[in-house]
Structure 1
Amino acid sequence: MELTSYSGLPNERVKAANGIDYAYRDTGPTDDGAGVPLVLLQHFRGNLDNWDPALIDALASGRRVIAFDNAGVGGSTGTTPHTVEGMAHDAVAFIAAMDFDQVDVLGFSLGSFVAQRIALTRPALVRRLVLASSAPQGADGMHGWAPEVIGAIGDPETSPEEYLSVFFARSETSLRAGRQTLQRIYGARSTDRDTATDWATREAQYDAVCTWGIPDHARLQRLGCLRMPVFVANGDSDPMILPHYSHLLAGLIPQARVKIYPDSAHGFLFQHHAEFAADVDAFLDGP
């Protein structure tokens, strides 16, 4: 059976025990042979429409993939928490509402912080963990983003050029890939788009980011508790979450592997969508 592309999926809703109606999209095979579902956690200010359809379609070719808006984000009801811990509790409520006993989790940027917290709080819930453009809580240098980064993606209205400056490297190859990504994200779906995130969500999410980045070396040691396999990845030119944090994460987590993708930045997983999806598939299907 041919699968519907992510760009053509309906927006669905599920009510959780916490009273939140979560907006989500569900793709990929759902039969018993599809294995553990992969749940995606989105980046700062992102909603369902900010995932690259090419990446989701590649990931969903052999497994069930679910993208959702966390509480207060996009089409979901409720209020966005001001802490990563609160966001993790809300994400767990969504997973429970979907009747999943165990999931694989792919967290991107802020979503990767939430993914770490879920894995620490509910380790039995997470079979395998993918951390894209990530950093551990308490690491030096993560207390807020550089002025040029927050100026580009933190204003009420951002331009395609500002998006490209953070999510893609400065080479013509990377910028060309960025423009193609924007065309897929904004050009493939013209109707039934997700609700845009509002300013209150932006403020709450940035509070969570800054709190996560308060230097605290004791918090770094907690990652040694994680016993599931973890794949850590980033672009080599990410100005938002520097790639050396990927190596730090991989050194703190017992069963972690790391890959840095060349000539790419924060949006490496969109630029290298085919390669990244293949790497994620191999990791999730591995021993």
Structure 2
Amino acid sequence: MSQYTAPNLHIDGPNGNSYAYRRFGRTGTTPVIFLQHFRGNLDGWDPDLVDPISAEREVVLYDPSGIGLSTGAIPDTFRDFARDALTFIDTLGFDQVDIFGFSIGGMIAQEVALQRPALVRRLILAGTGPEGGRNMHGWTDTPRAHAMKDEQGAEDILYLFFAPNPDSQAKGGEFVGRIFTRADDRDTLPSLAVRDAQAAAAIEWGIKDYARLARLENILQPTLVANGDNDIMVPTENSYLLAGHLPNARLTIYPNANHGFLFQYPTEFAAEVNAFLSE
């Protein structure tokens, strides 16, 4: 089974919400829970990244409450998003998981690890930053215009996720082709209410306050931090902050890459993730 073919599944949580998810890969392994980016859904995960990971371990992609095909109220803060993720994980009956968080998903992943440390075995934090980090309190004008556009197109993905050089833009075009290859059983696009709620949560998370960095000392799990060398969505300096304050972290920076480095280098990053999770 593949990200191209895995069916959309649904499970009802104790909160009355129905969670949409895809679950596939090698059973009998510690499952990897994928937490998605701003305005993302199940379809936005790159098959060239997810499928090689699923060859070695079970992967679970999911829509939080109120997003895509999931029902219920949209969480207000990343702490609430983390509680929502924990409800979903508990409903599936997992007692230990690895967490892969990209962009705001990485912010939620940090909260999951802080709220339920015994649940989380290892963390992957991609293109993300710590609460109270640097230059995260809202985007500058041009990125904001692309990120907040009512109807986004390929040009917005290419600008926000890929660097302004021919190679990165070409890789971006390939990525866009992959995520739109799946024709059947596609997810529902997140609403504008989702956009606004996630943006508000990100702005609150990004209020500069270095005292909040002390919370990272409580995330003891082995953590892989990775980013492109010029992330315009969550500035790359925040990946260095994460790696410097997390007690058990390593850092990889991918060259000539933006926020979507993991989709520009899907094969390489999947191999790095698999090696890290196998340690």
Answering whether residue 268 of structure 2 is matched by residue 271 of structure 1, we say no
Instruction: Quote the residue 1:20 is aligned against.
Output: 17
Of 170, 191, 199, the residue aligned with 1:176 is 170
How many angstroms does 1:140 deviate by?
3.1
Answering whether residue 273 of structure 2 is matched by residue 280 of structure 1, we say yes
C-alpha separation in 2, matches of 1:243 and 1:39: 24
C-alpha separation in 2, matches of 1:43 and 1:168: 15
Task: Please give the secondary structure, in 2, of the residue aligned with 1:7.
Answer: coil
Letter in structure 2 aligned against 1:65: V
Instruction: Quote the residue 1:214 is aligned against.
Output: 207
Of 33, 47, 50, the residue aligned with 2:41 is 47
How many angstroms does 1:227 deviate by?
1.0
Contact in 1 for aligned 2:134/2:237 (Cα 8 Å):
no
How many angstroms does 1:193 deviate by?
0.6
TM-score by length of 1: 0.96
After superposition, where does 1:114-133 map in structure 2 within 5 Å?
114-133=108-127
TM-score by length of 2: 0.98
C-alpha separation in 2, matches of 1:62 and 1:197: 30
Contact in 2 for aligned 1:43/1:111 (Cα 8 Å):
yes
Answering whether residue 193 of structure 2 is matched by residue 200 of structure 1, we say yes
The gaps in structure 2 that reach 5 residues or longer are: none
RMSD over aligned CA atoms reads 0.8
Contact in 1 for aligned 2:135/2:235 (Cα 8 Å):
no
Query: 1:7-49 deviations in whole A, cap 9, x for unaligned?
Result: 111100011112111000011011x3xx210000000000001
Of 48, 51, 55, the residue aligned with 1:57 is 51
C-alpha separation in 2, matches of 1:145 and 1:95: 31
After superposition, where does 1:123-202 map in structure 2 within 5 Å?
123-186=117-180, 188-202=181-195
Task: Please give the secondary structure, in 1, of the residue aligned with 2:215.
Answer: helix
Answering whether residue 22 of structure 2 is matched by residue 29 of structure 1, we say no
C-alpha separation in 2, matches of 1:58 and 1:170: 27
Aligned-residue sequence identity (percent) comes to 47
C-alpha separation in 1, matches of 2:219 and 2:208: 21
Letter in structure 2 aligned against 1:207: A
How many angstroms does 1:179 deviate by?
0.3
C-alpha separation in 1, matches of 2:56 and 2:274: 8
Task: Please give the secondary structure, in 1, of the residue aligned with 2:52.
Answer: helix
Contact in 2 for aligned 1:146/1:240 (Cα 8 Å):
no
Q: Give the number of aligned pairs.
A: 279
Query: 1:69-116 deviations in whole A, cap 9, x for unaligned?
Result: 011110000121120011000000000011100100000001000000
Of 227, 251, 268, the residue aligned with 1:234 is 227
Answering whether residue 4 of structure 2 is matched by residue 7 of structure 1, we say yes
Letter in structure 1 aligned against 2:77: T
Task: Please give the secondary structure, in 1, of the residue aligned with 2:118.
Answer: helix
Answering whether residue 106 of structure 2 is matched by residue 112 of structure 1, we say yes
Contact in 2 for aligned 1:43/1:109 (Cα 8 Å):
yes
Query: 1:170-201 deviations in whole A, cap 9, x for unaligned?
Result: 11111110000000001x21121101100111
Answering whether residue 250 of structure 2 is matched by residue 253 of structure 1, we say no
C-alpha separation in 2, matches of 1:44 and 1:102: 26
Report which stretch shifted further, 149-158 or 172-181.
149-158
C-alpha separation in 1, matches of 2:136 and 2:266: 26
Query: 1:216-249 deviations in whole A, cap 9, x for unaligned?
Result: 2221101001111000000112111111111110
Task: Please give the secondary structure, in 2, of the residue aligned with 1:224.
Answer: helix
C-alpha separation in 1, matches of 2:119 and 2:39: 26
C-alpha separation in 1, matches of 2:157 and 2:68: 19
Letter in structure 2 aligned against 1:231: L
